[in-house]
A and B are shown apart, each in its own frame.
Chain A
Amino acid sequence: MPTAVTHFKTNIYECLEALPKPTLDQLYREPATCLAIFRLLPPLARQLVMSLLFTQPISPINLTQSDLRLWVKNEAAALAKFDEALDKLSKLSIMTTDSTGYIQMNSSFRERFQDCLTGGGDHQSFGVPCERPAKDKPDITFLDRHAMKQWEEILHFMVGTESTRQPSAAVLKVVTRAKLMKEGKDKQLMITNKGFQFLLQDVNTQVWAFLIQYLDIADELLHMNVVEVLNFFFMLGSLELGMDYSVEALTPTQKQLLDDLANFGLAYRRKKGSSRYYPTRLATTLTSGNSAVVSSAVSSSTSTTTGEDGATEQGFIIVETNYKLYAYTESKLQISVLRLFCELQTRFANMVYALITRDSVRKALKHGITANQIISYLTSHAHPQMKKQVPLLPPTVVDQIRLWEMERNRLVATECHLYKEFRNQGDYEMVLKHATNLGYVIWSNARKRMFSVTEEGHEHVRNYIKKKIAQRKTNGGGVGEAGSGIGTPNNGSPSVR
């Protein structure tokens, strides 16, 4: 839910923002990519693009940033949204401010996105369908089942369920590179803390995380063109579920990609050399951005029809106010995910009964899983009956899980320097006052005449003391007697607050 969605979005954003401008320009040559990237923008940015998209043919208008600012209400919240929107647009080099201060829309983006909306041009960016009808076309249920089977196989492999076969080389490369798994003692791959976090995400987020890692590999190891790979991802996102598309229209790189993506369950091909491919729901919902809806759509269609292993993905968890958790599932995968933060009590034919305890949650937190991840997992997998309640999860449980997380964060270590052995109270207070005014003091105790300052303040405070000592020397004695000084800095002793 919220965390998961932002996680996914920032990830793909970061990935796109990191690309150099020429690469982005190349990306914007495909209308499908323009559409997909457009949908990743915040709402106000999308509206700004739309408002300016068709201005050019009528009359070229030059607008500055302050002109555009007049379009939003003069309220702090609205202006903040506006600034965020413009920032995102300029980072993706869709709209930039030129040297004269006018806002310019990226010309290739403008043209291609116009094509996208009006259906102009001959770019074939939305997938070339097969001309001949397929003999026995797989239906959508079959595709959903295929997608879930392939995807869960990867997840099963990660949790180490027995009887899973070794996944393909590409999958292995991605999981090791993304540090979801690492080699243990006996050359066996073991799941890492990051892997546990990964398991708690919803399917869409997982797929994106996977694809972004894959993009990294594709660039470095397989020497694929980043633009082509991204274009292919975004094209897949714009295809229609249940249709067959022609392999021939793809570039060699994309053909190679297709094989790997079929392994992940994003596409289906009857056999390796088949001339057509079918995108699955995992692929067609890639750019929808609303991951919760996606995962439930995938699972609801599978669960109603199959009733087999991976059918339990739709809401199946009931949480009670007394921390008891009932999960209507048989899937080993789901049970092992639950085991991450629950204490399993009893297992029945179609359901598992577990307890959420302090120890079990702390175990999960030690694995690096955050309270928000647990909560969002429980929310997105809640049983339909739970979904009728407002709020969805019992507030006591939600609060308690958060409190358990907070209690691990009671201590914060800060590097600091301790000053002690001041000759008299006056000196102590003088230096302390000076350091407090500059905001460097972390802790002080007047009775012991000790205080500690932060790392960056140390140099400053020491110089101040030296200066004072020097002044007194020239003034001829005075209060502080000799070189031992006003206070002794005790270097490098960290104090704990």
Chain B
Amino acid sequence: MSVLKDTATVNEDDANLLVLIIDTNPLIWTRSAKSTGLSLKEALRHLLVFINAHLALKHDNEVAVIASHVDVSKFLFPIPTPPRLSEDTDQVVDSNLYQRFKVVNDQVIGNMKDLFEDITTLNSYPDKASSMIAGALSMALCYINRIMRADEIGHIKPRILIISISPDSPYQYISIMNCIFSAQKLGIPIDVCKVHGEDTVFLKQAAHITGGRYLKLQIPQGFLQFLMITFLPDRFTRNYQCLPGEEKVDFSASCFCHKKMIDIGYVCSVCLSIFCHPLEQCSTCRTNLILASVNECGLKLVNGIKKLDKAKGRESGGST
């Protein structure tokens, strides 16, 4: 595998590719603005400075920005055709801003505006409280894969940072998990910054499995400072630094049949799909499962564990 060449060791001279996934669910951002005062607009200002800081670290650092919206994931930067150069040509160069910062900032802002002006599809998606994290992650991984293939000498070290705001969507469990394992195989750390709301279990697992950082934002006004200290260090510097992060990880899964979050479930012995109740045939790999054995010993076992869990005051969850 040519892509897998030397992803583990990082040199001082290596360039860094940061793929930033911004969760742009407007409903939750409004909620966040009301409760903590951090609106999307404000957060974007912090994020742009953060992007500039990343580009400032090294001449050949690269960045890509993906918006994970309610129903669609979209590249904000880079995009194949640079937008609207004809409209305001006088703004192409600004002598007060480094040209690379300017190109990135202008495109991200412009594309973000376009994204919000286009609200036609907002109504069709079933789960409005969530965002297309799985789609955005896949796009990020594809993009990284392409860049790494083009880079023959293995000079570019990629990483992903997710600015997460919406809660987990159990609908996306399988695809998110697939993304996580692909990222793990490619050696790409996924960092997660949870800006608002409850911890997301899936993304916490993502950070844990891929060796990234998971951090919940505690002081919304200090968003930029949080980003700078925790998420700016490149993979070379991380070897030497102690960074803040979460130690406790919740490994609970969602079932494949009803997309419910479960602590205890049934696992297909062939393809390891997870179900919340026993099935005669696995819906994923079509294997006929013999339920008799499950009914005989399995249920007893499960019940036994449930009782045990209750006795322990349900301290932690695990799947059977």
Contacts and interface: CB of A to CB of B under 8 A. Distances in A.
Chain B binds chain A: yes
Interface of A: 5, 31-32, 35, 38-39, 42-44, 46-47, 50-51, 53-55, 58, 70-73, 75, 77-78, 81-82, 115-129, 238-240, 243, 249, 285, 287-290, 293, 387
A154 B90 CA distance: 38
A253 to B, nearest CB: 19
Interface residues of B, number: 39
A119 B97 contact: yes
A116 B241 CA distance: 26
Nearest to B221: A58
Interface of B: 12-13, 49, 52-53, 56-60, 92-99, 101-102, 105, 152-153, 155, 221-222, 224-225, 228-229, 232-234, 236-237, 239-242
B53 A50 contact: yes
Nearest to B102: A119
Query: Which residue of A117, A240, A243 has the most chain B CB atoms within 10 A of its CB atom?
Result: A117
Contact of A129 (B93, B153, B232): B93
23 contacts: A35-B98, A39-B58, A42-B12, A43-B12, A43-B237, A47-B232, A51-B232, A53-B53, A55-B225, A58-B221, A73-B240, A73-B241, A82-B240, A118-B52, A119-B102, A121-B96, A122-B96, A123-B96, A124-B95, A129-B95, A293-B155, A387-B152, A387-B153
Given A75-B240, A126-B99, 5 more contacts: A55-B225, A58-B225, A116-B56, A293-B155, A387-B153
B240 A58 contact: no
Contacts of B52: 116-119
A127 B102 CA distance: 13
Contacts of A115: 96
B101 A5 contact: no
Contacts of B60: 288, 290, 293
B86 to A, nearest CB: 13
Candidate in B57, B155, B234 with the most chain A CB atoms within 10 angstroms: B57
A54 B228 contact: yes
Contact of A73 (B13, B94, B242): B242
Contacts of B53: 50, 53, 117
Which 9 residue pairs across A and B have the least CB separation, nearest first? Answer: A288-B59, A78-B240, A119-B97, A129-B93, A124-B95, A240-B99, A117-B52, A128-B95, A51-B229
Contacts of B153: 387
Contacts of B12: 42-43
A243 B93 contact: yes
A287 B101 contact: no
Given A50-B232, A71-B242, A72-B240, A119 B96 contact: yes
Contacts of A35: 56, 98
A285 B228 CA distance: 26
A126 B59 contact: no
A55 B98 CA distance: 23
A118 B97 CA distance: 8
A16 to B, nearest CB: 18
B13 A5 contact: yes
A492 B197 CA distance: 82
A217 B272 CA distance: 73
A82 B240 CA distance: 9
Nearest to A237: B59
A430 B257 CA distance: 92
B18 to A, nearest CB: 14
Given A38-B56, A289-B59, A239 B240 contact: no
Given A58-B225, A117-B53, A290-B59, A44 B240 contact: yes
Nearest to A1: B13
A290 B13 contact: yes
Nearest to A36: B59
A55 B228 CA distance: 10
Contacts of A77: 240
Contacts of A243: 93, 99
A95 to B, nearest CB: 15
A492 to B, nearest CB: 48
A114 to B, nearest CB: 9
A294 to B, nearest CB: 9
B225 A119 contact: no
B224 A47 contact: no
Contact of B99 (A116, A238, A289): A238
A117 B102 CA distance: 10
Nearest to B155: A293
A295 to B, nearest CB: 14
A75 B58 CA distance: 26
Contact of B233 (A31, A47, A290): A47
B241 A72 contact: yes
A54 B12 CA distance: 25
A434 B94 CA distance: 74
B236 A43 contact: yes
A44 B237 contact: yes
Nearest to A58: B222
Contacts of B224: 54
Contact of A126 (B96, B225, B228): B96
Contacts of A78: 239-241
A240 B105 CA distance: 16
A240 B96 contact: no
Nearest to A249: B95
Contacts of B152: 387
B93 A117 contact: no
A80 to B, nearest CB: 9
A115 B94 CA distance: 13
A387 B229 CA distance: 37
Contact of B101 (A73, A119, A124, A127): A119
Q: Which of B155, B221, B224 lies at the interface centre, i.e. has the most chain A CB atoms within 10 A of its CB?
A: B224
